[in-house]
Amino acid sequence: MDDQDEDLGAFDPNIPEEGPSAPPPGWLDDVHGYQVPKGEGDNPLYPPPPDYNPQPELNKNTLVPIVRVPTVSEDVARDALLKFVESKWRYSSKPARNLTFKELQPVTVYRYRLETYTETRTSAWQFESYNGQVVDGPQFGMSPPPWDIPVPPPARYTDKVEKVRVPHSSFVKPCHKCNGCGRTRCGNCHGRGQKRCFGCNGTGFRRRPGNHKSSGKTRCSACSGRGRKRCSSCHGQGYNTCSVCHGSQRLLHFIQLTVTWKNDITEFIPDRQPDFPDKKFEKVTGDPFFVDESMLVYPIQGFPDQEICDVSTRMINEHLNRFSSTSRILQQRQTIEMVPLTHAYYTYNGKDYSFFVYGVENRVFAAKYPTACTIL
Ligand SMILES: [Zn+2]
Ligand SMILES: [Zn+2]
Ligand SMILES: [Zn+2]
């Protein structure tokens, strides 16, 4: 520190420098039954209680009724194609209106969907400014374990996150950022309220611009010749209101429990039509002719499409392995949909073409379409 800095005045030794923004390790008490993360990499996730051990019953399987493959008529196929053509500016509707159908071939497409609705619980320390609010601390009893805290769930299969305060986990401590002072020393001026003027380097004078040697000095306009300027960060006070406790000096700490409900969906469609891009099915609906719902569903058996039976067994196991160790499975639902798909073959101007009509929405996919301006 040089003489010029001493000119800036002294700082108030009673106002502390800024402390850490987060409570330092060891600052917070342990709360029975809670492994709240103390450092990075700590896992705040609570696995389901030890008595939770979901197991599907042995030898119980689900039977599915057999449905008929839906077919579309020529009129429906033509209307769908006309709509499709209208959405493409370079296609003419003439071929769609005048084509001759050769065959409408329905394709059996099943979509299997497994949904698993889970609840997960994690916790973390939180704090807020303490301004005399009620403190629900350990003097009111022991904090209930994470899975014993009643938190009403949303409607089934709805994703939601709910944050609740763990009962009896609260306590009040002096603010760690300002050491309970409510203010922190301004880091920009080191608590002095003013800074050396950069325009004149603290001298109060500047060289007159433009002229040479004879010019002499002129009073610095940036600081009006004072050589120092008021600190803009603290408005000359030398301190700032603490950004953590907002001046209240004390903080109320508590454990916050985060409850997450999530519906995980896995779908499968066997690839039976190499000419049709399976991705297209994602945008359309089918007819859900089989819906099976239970806390845990059982693999499908005896359905004519063996691939659906196999995928049901595989996905149910996969979901069970994925979720039962980290979450509570609240409900499962498996659905088989019949997704309409018709391969429409036609001729136009003596040439063969085809397109697909798919989904309940009767969408069209055509890899090739005749050009309108054919010269005859
Ligand atoms: Zn300052
Ligand atoms: Zn100046
Ligand atoms: Zn503070």
DSSP assignment of 167-214: TT--EEEE-TTTTTSSEEE-TTTTTSSEEE-TTTTTSSEEEPSS--GG
Q: What is the pTM of this model?
A: 0.75
| DSSP-assigned letters across all residues of 117-156 | EEEEEEEEEEEEE-SS-----GGG-PPPPGGGS-----ST
328 versus 303: the higher-pLDDT residue is 328
| Alpha carbons 121 and 59: distance in angstroms, whole number | 32
pLDDT digits (tens, 9 = 90+) for 330-352: 999 999 999 999 999 999 999 99
Q: Which ligand is nearest to the CA of 130?
A: 3
Q: Which ligand is nearest to the CA of 181?
A: 3
Model pLDDT, residue 70: 74
Per-residue pLDDT band at 374 (split at 50, 70, 90): very low
- Distance (angstroms) between ligand 1 centre and the Cα of 209 equals 31
Q: Which residues contact 169 (CB under 8 A, 6 or more apart)?
A: 31, 34, 136, 137, 138, 143, 254, 255
DSSP 39: S
3-state helix, strand, coil in the chain (%, to 5): 15, 30, 55
Return left, alpha or beta for 255; rule: phi > 0 is left, psi -120 to 50 is alpha, else beta. Answer: beta
Q: Which two tokens stand for residue 225?
A: 């010749």
When pLDDT is cut at 50, 70 and 90, the band that residue 2 belongs to is: very low
CA–centroid distance, 196 to ligand 2, in Å, is 8
Cα–Cα distance, 271 to 278 (Å, whole number): 7
Q: Is the pLDDT of residue 211 over 70?
A: no
Residues with a beta carbon under 5 angstroms from ion ligand 2: 197, 199-200, 220, 222-223
Average per-residue pLDDT in the chain?
87
Cα of 122 to ligand 3 centre, how many Å? Answer: 27
User: Residue 112: what pLDDT?
Assistant: 95
Q: If you ran DSSP here, which 8-state letter would residue 282 be given?
A: G
Query: 56-70, 171-185, 228-242, 328-342: lowest mean pLDDT where?
Result: 56-70
Q: What is the pLDDT of residues 73-113, one digit of tens each?
A: 999 999 999 999 988 878 888 899 999 999 999 988 899 99
Q: Taking residues 135-156, what's their average pLDDT?
A: 93
pLDDT score of 3: 44
What SS3 class is residue 349? coil
Comparing 363 with 217, the larger pLDDT belongs to 363
229 confidence band (pLDDT: 50, 70, 90):
very high
